[in-house]
Every structure is written in structure tokens, then in C-alpha cells.
Amino acid sequence: MSKLEDEYAVNTANIQQGVQILKRRQTHLMGWCIFTTSLALVALISYFLQQEILYSWFGISLEVKQLHIPVSADRTLMQFGQAPNYFFNLLSWFGWLFLKITSAFIGAFFVIHFLKKLRFFAIRFQSFVLKFVGWIIAFICIWSTLTYVQYDWNDEAEDPYATAIEYKNSLHESELAQYLDHTQLAPPVKAYVLAQIALLHSPADENAAIPYVLTLVDAEKNDPNFIQYGFSASQLWSMQQQLYGKAITPLAKSISPKIEQAQKWENVLQIIIISSFIVSSILSLMLYLLSRYFSARTRRIEQNLKNTG
């Protein structure tokens, strides 16, 4: 072999080594692109959920989300069990969302890594497109599996009041409403529970709830024992907010400082989330373009090698 042929072989080997380096860089860039895209997606979802999560942190909800049993009725309604904490349920849901995103994202890479050890997949995963399709399928499979586990888990921890407040046509068809009819609880206590049952109905039965909320408004003005019933100021605020768009009684208005504090944090959180979304989206686009550039450059070099070979 002549000296010129030796140099050509060395140069070809160096070029092929450089091509492999470019392919690795392109793969890493695409991985980071998927990661930043996932961050942008999380930020987008968080934007729509942040108000509900933040208000729940302060013990507030713009709508009635779960049944609150006042202290004065605890013993009477004990047979129905204890209602779950809405804030922790919401945190649990958000925690599952984070777990599914991170587990599916990272797990999909592991699936591709192990599948590449099989000859059938090793040949096909030489194509980046097929590898990416495989990653998407693995991501969906892991996400679906965790979603099934999540809902199976939630079914076991079902709200004990869920079946007791169900009804089709009339509020008084529900088991809990019928049970209340046979108790000696004070009218405001019954009105408090019945109003919640109506607002928890899907869709919210506002027409049925209004008379009971008005009973509570009247009781707060005229009943000297109103405070002793153990009503939640936050729950009263939620009822009035859902029906009238504002608090109309002193007890409901008493949580105004919480509302103002939640709104301040909401403004700050919105800026953080929007900034995170913009930065993640820009980074994702830049990484995608760089990945495409390296991919095109790699194909061009490989094509030149084939032509010169």
C-alpha cells in the first residue's frame, strides 16, 4: 500500500470517528431538547393549575370541592366516615403528575438502552427517527401504567361521602339528605350540609343550594349560637363565591386577608411560571435546531464518504 493510500485510510478513519462524535452530540442535544420541552409542558400545565393549588395551600377554594362536616354534627354523621382533605388530595394529584412525567421521561431512555442490546432493535435503532418513535412509545406505556396505578390507588381511598351525596333529580334523594331529615340537628347545620351537597353535585345544583345559603346568611345575622355550630369560614366563602361571585356575610369576609395574600403569591407565581415556560421553549427550540444541524452535517459527511469510497 502506498504512502498516499495510508494517509487516505487514516483520514477516513478520523472522519468516521468524528462522525460518531457528531452523532453522540446530536443524540445528547435531542435528549436535552426533549427534557426542556417537558419542562415547558410542566410550566404550561402549572399555569392553569397554579391558582387552585395556591388557594388550596391557604385553605381556600373558589368552588365547593369537598364536604365539610361542622363540629356540631360530627357525632351524628360519624357513620359516614371522615371526609378526605382536599388540599392533600390536590397535592397528591400534582405529585402523581410530576412522578409520571419524570418516570416516563427517564424510564423511556432506559427502555431504549436495554432494547438496543437485542439485535432486532439494535439494527432498527440505528435510525434516529425509529429510535425517537421507540422512545415516544416507551414514554406512553410508562405513563399509562402509572396512570392506571394512580386511579387504582385512588379507588381504594374513595371519599366515604361520595355515594351518600349522590342524587339524580332532587337533592333530597341523596342518602345524606334523607338521613339529615331524621336528625335533631339545628336548621342552620342542616342547611350548611345540604347547600354543600347541592354544590358538589355534577353539575352544581345552584338553584337547590341558594335557599340553604340564604338560610345561613339569615342565621348568621339572627342566630346567637351561629359561631358555636363550627362552620368553616373558608367553606362559607366558597359557597358565596360560587353562587354570587363575592362574600356577602361577615364570617365569609373574615378570610379576606388570606385571599389578598393568595392573590399576591399568585401574581409572583405567574411571573415565575411564564418566565420558565418562555426560557424552556426558547432553549428547546435552540437545542432542536442545533440537533438538526448536527444531523444534517453528519448525513452530508457520510454521503461524501460514500461518494469518495
| Domain residue spans of the chain | 1-60+278-309, 62-83+163-254, 93-158
Single pTM value for the model: 0.63
Question: Whole-angstrom Cα distance, residue 261 to residue 245?
Answer: 19
**Per-residue confidence band for 158, with pLDDT thresholds at 50, 70 and 90:** low
The contacts of residue 73 (CB under 8 Å, 6+ apart) are 185, 189, 193
pLDDT in tens, 20-34: 777 788 778 887 888
Q: How confident is the model at residue 85 (pLDDT cuts 50, 70, 90)?
A: low
Of the pLDDT bands very low, low, confident and very high (cuts 50, 70, 90), residue 91 is low
Are 209 and 244 spatial neighbours (Cβ–Cβ below 8 Å)? no
The whole-number average pLDDT for the span 174-188 is: 89
Check pLDDT > 60 for residue 39: yes
197-221 tens-digit pLDDT = 999 888 899 999 999 999 999 999 9
pLDDT(102) > 50: yes
> Are the CB atoms for 181 and 194 separated by under 8 Å?
no
Give the range among 27-31, 191-195, 280-284 with minimum mean pLDDT.
Answer: 27-31
Confidence of residue 15 (pLDDT cuts 50, 70, 90): confident
SS (H, E, C) the chain: CCHHHHHHHHHHHHHHHHHHHHHHHHHHHHHHHHHHHHHHHHHHHHHHHHHHHHHHHCCCCCCCCCCCCCHHHCCCCHHHCCCCCHHHHHHHHHHHHHHHHHHHHHHHHHHHHHHCCCHHHHHHCCCHHHHHHHHHHHHHHHHHHHHHHHHHHHHHCCCCCCCCCCCCCCHHHCHHHHHHHCCCCCHHHHHHHHHHHHHHCCCCCHHHHHHHHHHHHHHHHHCCCHHHHCCCHHHHHHHHHHHHCCCCCHHHHCCHHHHHHHHHHHHHHHHHHHHHHHHHHHHHHHHHHHHHHHHHHHHHHHHHHHHHC
Label residue 153 by pLDDT band (50, 70, 90): low
Kindly state the average pLDDT of the residues 179-207: 91
Q: Tell me the pLDDT band of 10, cut-offs 50, 70 and 90.
A: very low
In this predicted model, what pLDDT tens digit does every residue of 255-277 receive, in sequence order? Answer: 888 888 888 988 998 999 899 99
Q: pLDDT digit string (tens) for 219-245? A: 999 999 999 998 989 999 999 999 999
Could you give the percent of the chain with pLDDT greater than 90?
A: 21
CA-CA-CA-CA torsion sign (34, 35, 38, 44): negative
pLDDT of 87: 60
Report pLDDT for 152.
64
Res 8: pLDDT? 47
